[in-house]
Amino acid sequence: MIGRPITLFTGQWADLSLQTLVEKSAAWGYDGLELACWGDHFDVVRATQEKEYVENQRNLLSAHGLSVHAISNHLVGQAVCDPIDERHQPLLPDRVWGDGDPEGVRTRAASEMQRTAEAAAKLGVPVVTGFTGSPIWAAAYAFPPHTAGYVDAGFQEFADRWNPILDAFDEAGVKFALEAHPTEIAFDLSTAERALEAVSHRETFGFNYDPSHLAYQGVDYIQFLYDFADRIYHVHMKDVWWSDVPTRSGTFGGHLEFGHVDRAWDFRSIGRGRVDFEEIMRALNRIGYAGPLSIEWEDSGLDREYGAREACEQVRAMSLAPTNRAFDTSFSAD
C-alpha cells in the first residue's frame, strides 16, 4: 500500500457545504481533503480567533474517516502581486477588498496570507497552497517591448511583497507552495527558478506541482519534478488535453470558455487527457515525495460527481508503490 493519501481539493466545490462535501468525498473513496479558504470550508479568521473552530473542522472530517494535509488560499494570494481591478472583487473576502483601492487590496491580501500561515499551524497542516499573483504577467508576450530591467523589477516586487509573508510562514513552521501557473510569477521551469532566486531560495517557498498547467504550454512537466525535487511541497493531480493539429484558437485560448469545441487545449479528468501520469508517479518515487496526491477536478465535459469518484479510482490504480530493491537482485549470489 503506497503511503501517499489521495485527497480532493475543495476549491471547485465551494458551492457545497463542507458537511455535504465531506459525506460525498468519503463515499467516493478519498482519504482526505485539501481545504479551500472560501465557502464554508475553512475560514482563516475564525481559525485564528475561535478556540473550537479548528477542532470542529477536523472532527467533521475525522468522523468520516478523512484527514487534512494542506489548505489553499489561492484567491487571496493572487491579489498580493496583481494589478487589481474589478475581476478580483468577487474572489476576495470583503475584509480584503475593502474600498477596492489597489494598493490597499494588495496590503490587506498580504496580511491575510500571513494570517493563513497561523491558521494552518493551528489546524496542524504543514503546507498552504496558493497563487502569488504577478505584476508582470501581462508582459509575458509584450508589445510594445518592455524596457530594460522591467522583468527584473517585477521579480523584485514579488520578493518585496512576499518575503514578509514568508517570514510569517517561517514563524508558524508552515511552507508555502506556489502553483506554477500562467498569470503567476512562475509559470514554467525558467520562471520557477527566477522566483526561487528572487526570494534567495528560502526553504519556506516551494511549489504545488500541477502538470496540467505546464503540459499544454509545451513545458517539460517531468523535468520540473527533478529540477525542483526538494521544493515539491504538494501535488495536484489534474489532466489536460491539447491538440497536435492547427485549431481555430491556440495556446492563448481565443477568449473562449473552457469546454468550447474550438479550444486548442482543455482541462480534463484524470486519465482523459494527455498527461503521462505513469512517468509522474515514477518521478515522485525517485525524488522521495511522500505527501498527498490532491485531485483538482476540472472537466467541462463530464458530470463532476461521476468524475470525482472516477478520478479517485484512477489515481489509486496508477499510484506506484516504490521499491528498495532492483528487480534482478534475485539472481545475485548473495
* pLDDT at residue 326, as a whole number: 61
Q: How far is Cα 130 from Cα 207, in angstroms, rounded to an integer?
A: 9
Q: Which of the 8 DSSP states describes residue 64?
A: T
- Does residue 126 have a cis bond before it (omega within 30 degrees)? no
Report domain extents, the chain: 6-331
Q: Which residues pair with 71 in a beta bridge?
A: 35, 128
- CA pair distance 132, 106, nearest whole angstrom: 11
In the prediction, which pLDDT does 320 show? 74
pTM: 0.95
- Integer Cα distance of 260 and 276 in angstroms: 24
Tally Cβ neighbours within 10 Å of residue 145. 8
Closest among 81, 76, 75, 79 to 185, alpha carbons compared: 81
CA–CA dist 237, 317 (Å, integer): 13
Dig out the grid coordinates for 110 from the structure.
498580504
- In angstroms, rounded to a whole number, what is the distance separating the alpha carbons of residues 13 and 39? 9
Paired with 33 in beta bridges are 8, 68
Predicted local distance difference test score (pLDDT) of residue 302: 96
Q: Are 293 and 4 in contact (CB under 8 A)?
A: yes
- How do strand 239-242 and strand 265-268 relate by DSSP bridges? antiparallel
Distance (Å, whole) CA 107 – CA 251: 33
- Compute and round to an integer the Cα radius of gyration of the chain: 20
6-331: CATH number = 3.20.20.150
Residue whose C-alpha is closest to residue 110's, from 155, 158, 76, 157: 76
Q: Of 213, 219, 81, 222, nearest to 160 (Cα)?
A: 81
Q: Which residue has the cell 492547427?
A: 246
Residues in CB range of 302: below 8 A, 6 or more apart: 268, 269, 272
Helix (H) or strand (E) holding 241: strand 239-242
Read off the DSSP letter of residue 238: -
User: Residue 31 has what pLDDT?
Assistant: 98
Sequence-distant (6+) residues with CB within 8 A of 261 are: none
Per-residue pLDDT of the chain (334 residues), as tens digits, is 357 999 999 999 999 999 999 999 999 999 999 999 999 999 999 999 998 999 999 999 999 999 999 999 999 999 999 999 999 999 999 999 999 999 999 999 999 999 999 999 999 999 999 999 999 999 999 899 999 999 999 999 999 999 999 999 999 999 999 999 999 999 999 999 999 999 999 999 999 999 999 999 999 999 999 999 999 999 999 999 999 999 999 999 999 999 999 999 999 999 999 999 999 999 999 999 999 999 999 999 999 999 999 999 999 999 877 666 665 665 666 5
How far is the CA of 103 from the CAs of 44, 99, 108, in angstroms? Answer: 22, 11, 9
User: Residue 6 corresponds to which cell in the numbers above?
Assistant: 489521495
pLDDT at 231 (0 to 100)? 98
Q: Bridge partners of 178? A: 130, 207
> Phi and psi at residue 2, in whole multiples of 5°?
-70, 145
| DSSP3 helix / strand / coil % (the chain, rounded to 5) | 45, 15, 40
Contacts with 269 (C-beta within 8 Å, 6 or more apart), sequence order: 239, 297, 299, 302, 307, 310, 311, 314
Residue type, 73: N
pLDDT at 310: 98
| Block residue for cell numbers 503546507 | 127
